[in-house]
């Protein structure tokens, strides 16, 4: 099966190559180059998607730079590759149109507008990508732009996967550390939509943004240490990498939960013991994956409960600049990549 496109005369022609951004070795943003590569062939249970938008996320930075949290370096060869990225085409998520459907891929037709989350399979910084029809691919409403769908996917998927394991509702106090990032901006909205009282930790420049997403209270980390005061929370969503249980324990209510969206090796090793000993729950894992997550995300977005936060938009040819911006660690929400 091959992708097709319309030529100037209106006839269909086979497309066998595509443009893709590839990290051919580990290193800084400049290791990413745009190349012509073969269009992937969908398996019988897959669809082929013409990608219109993706994002450059912190995950792309981590893969490209081999930047793993402390104590997880031993995973590098297995997770990333020994001498160069094993998955050189980065990009965890895509929004685009279905152009071909495998014979066992039920539920999709050419022309469907979809959101795809490939996660660690990567490959979305390219003009075409495959998705297992039963996996994390879902149709998006006509009113949702490809850029918005792509911008929602990474942070929204992660936030839903983690927050699924806690009961949110009126009277529940939630703190989101790193409220202005891709994951934090989604977590604030999901918690607020569920009726929880949300505190967002961010720098002063992002105070208005997190308030607009539903935060009731904002803590500027440059002026105040959320873990040093008298206030306590039922749920702490850690999206920065500076709030392990040892720092957060005293502000986590008895029976509360620390969701370590980002954790280093030592924190992962200690979480079971800390949970047993403290009467609080510590976990670095999400609990919901695949299609149910993207379905829920699109449902929530269509209902207006979650909106994308787009910081900047880059064209594929400007991929190096996009990586450079993500590397600052200061992006707000998503950095969108448009595919030609
Ligand atoms: N476990 C998983 O499955 C999973 C999935 C996705 C992501 N992650 C991890 O989760 C983390 C967050 O991902 P992300 O995509 O949300 O990152 P991101 O979008 O790159 O986060 C950038 C944001 O972090 C904020 N920030 C930086 N230092 C801060 C601090 N000290 N306190 C509060 N906010 C701070 C910045 O705001 P200011 O400019 O205001 O400082 C910026 O808006 C990453 O480490 C990522 O690797 C894990």
> Cα–Cα distances in Å, from 311 out to 54, 306, 326?
13, 16, 10
Please report whether residue 328 resides in a domain: yes
Residues 80 and 205 in one domain: no
Residues 310 and 203 in one domain: no
Residues 223 and 146 in one domain: no
Please report whether residue 65 resides in a domain: yes
Residues with a CB atom less than 6 Å from ligand 1: 57-58, 62, 155, 158, 177-178, 180-184, 201-203, 206, 221, 239-242, 261-262, 286, 329-332
- Could you tell me the residue range of the domain that residue 310 belongs to? 3-153+289-338
Which of 55, 56, 57, 58 to probe ligand 1 with, by most ligand atoms within 8 A of CB?
A: 58
Which of 202, 219, 333 to probe ligand 1 with, by most ligand atoms within 8 A of CB?
A: 202
pLDDT at residue 8, as a whole number: 43
Residues 117 and 193 in one domain: no
All residues at 6 or more sequence positions from 12 whose CB lies less than 8 Å from its CB, including other chains: 4, 5, 6
Residues 100 and 224 in one domain: no
CA 328 – CA 62 distance, rounded (Å):
13
**Count of domains observed in the chain:** 2
Q: Which residues of the chain carry a pLDDT beneath 50?
A: 6-11
Q: pTM value?
A: 0.96
Domain boundary among 247, 268, 283: 283
Query: Tell me: the pLDDT tens digits for 39-79?
Result: 999 999 999 999 999 999 999 999 999 999 999 988 888 88
- In this structure, are residues 148 and 172 in contact, taking their beta carbons and an 8 Å threshold? no
Q: What is the CATH number of the domain that holds 202?
A: 3.40.50.720
CA geometry: angle 315, 316, 320, nearest 5 deg: 95
Please report whether residue 32 resides in a domain: yes
Please report whether residue 23 resides in a domain: yes
pLDDT at residue 9, as a whole number: 46
* Nearest CA-CA partner of 218 in 232, 204, 229, 228: 204
Residues 293 and 278 in one domain: no
Query: Tell me: the pLDDT tens digits for 101-132?
Result: 999 999 999 999 999 999 999 999 999 999 99
Please report whether residue 202 resides in a domain: yes
Domain boundary among 260, 283, 306: 283
Please report whether residue 257 resides in a domain: yes
Q: What is the CATH number of the domain that holds 13?
A: 3.90.180.10
Residues 236 and 127 in one domain: no
């Amino acid at each position: 099966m091959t992708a097709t496109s319309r030529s100037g005369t209106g006839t269909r022609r086979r497309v066998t190559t595509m443009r893709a951004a590839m990290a051919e070795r580990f290193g800084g943003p400049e290791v990413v180059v745009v190349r012509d590569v073969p269009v992937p062939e969908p398996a019988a249970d897959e669809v082929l998607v013409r990608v219109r938008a993706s994002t450059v996320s912190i995950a792309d930075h981590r893969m490209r730079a081999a930047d793993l949290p402390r104590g997880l370096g031993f995973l590098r060869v297995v997770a990333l590759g020994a001498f160069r990225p094993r998955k050189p085409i980065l990009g965890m998520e895509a929004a685009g149109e279905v152009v071909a459907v495998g014979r066992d891929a039920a539920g999709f037709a050419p022309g469907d507008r979809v959101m795809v989350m490939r996660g660690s399979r990567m490959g979305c910084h390219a003009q075409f990508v495959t998705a297992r029809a039963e996996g994390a691919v879902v149709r998006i409403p006509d009113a949702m732009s490809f850029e918005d769908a792509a911008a929602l996917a990474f942070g929204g998927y992660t936030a839903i996967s983690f927050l699924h394991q806690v009961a949110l509702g009126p009277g529940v106090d939630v703190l989101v550390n790193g409220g202005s990032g891709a994951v934090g901006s989604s977590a604030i909205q999901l918690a607020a939509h569920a009726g929880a009282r949300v505190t967002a930790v961010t720098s002063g420049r992002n105070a208005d943004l997190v308030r607009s997403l539903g935060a009731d209270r904002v803590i500027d980390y440059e002026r105040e240490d959320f873990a040093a005061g008298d206030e306590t929370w039922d749920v702490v969503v850690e999206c920065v990498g500076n709030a392990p249980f040892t720092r957060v324990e005293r502000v986590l209510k008895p029976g509360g939960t620390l969701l370590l969206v980002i954790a280093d090796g030592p924190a992962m090793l200690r979480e079971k013991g800390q949970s047993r000993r403290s009467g609080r729950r510590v976990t670095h894992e999400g609990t919901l994956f695949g299609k149910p997550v993207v379905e829920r995300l699109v449902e929530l977005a269509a209902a207006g409960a979650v909106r994308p936060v787009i910081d900047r938009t880059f064209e594929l040819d400007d991929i190096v600049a996009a990586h450079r911006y993500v590397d600052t660690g200061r992006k707000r929400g998503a950095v969108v990549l448009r595919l030609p």
